[in-house]
């Protein structure tokens, strides 16, 4: 047991440091749910993007919801969009690709800043 303890401590520290740095290290969005992407993965340097864009409120993007209704108040940071948005959506729900496009592009349109063209996000 005594021998295992240092290994255990290292494992715990590693697990936590990975959690803490996950969005800091993010440079593109490429959820596994799509399988093989047909376009280059969209550029999104999470922390740098949000700093430049001046968006501090996590809920703006990490919104919650259930039973077909969006809840703009409940924060779901850390939960992948794909957990709630299916690649092949049921009728009346927003599919995964549309969820990203709507959220990203509508803010860029509204703020008059940020990329709108396919190749500016799906950079080759």
The residues that touch ligand HEC, with contacts defined as CB under 6 A, are 22-23, 26, 29-31, 34, 37-39, 41-46, 48-50, 52-53, 55, 58, 60-66, 68-70, 76-85, 93-94, 97, 99-105, 107-108, 111, 113-118, 120-122
Give the separation between CA 71 and CA 64, rounded to whole angstroms: 5
Cβ nearer to ligand HEC, comparing 12 with 51: 51
Which ranges in the chain belong to alpha helices (H)? 4-21, 46-53, 96-111, 118-121
Question: What is the DSSP-derived secondary structure letter of residue 89?
Answer: P
Give the separation between CA 76 and CA 113, rounded to whole angstroms: 25
Q: How far is the CB of 15 from ligand HEC (least distance, A)?
A: 14
Q: How far is the CB of 91 from ligand HEC (least distance, A)?
A: 10
């Amino acid at each position: 047991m005594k021998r295992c303890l240092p290994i255990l401590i290292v494992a715990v520290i590693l697990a936590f440091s990975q959690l803490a740095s996950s969005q800091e290290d993010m440079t593109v969005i490429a959820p596994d749910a799509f399988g093989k992407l047909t376009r280059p993965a969209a550029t999104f340097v999470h922390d740098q993007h949000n700093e430049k864009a001046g968006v501090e409120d996590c809920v703006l993007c990490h919104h919650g919801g259930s039973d077909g209704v969006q809840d703009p108040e409940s924060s779901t940071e850390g939960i992948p969009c794909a957990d709630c948005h299916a690649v092949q959506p049921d009728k009346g729900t927003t599919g995964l690709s549309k969820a990203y496009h709507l959220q990203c592009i509508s803010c860029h349109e509204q703020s008059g800043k940020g990329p709108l063209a396919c190749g500016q996000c799906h950079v080759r």
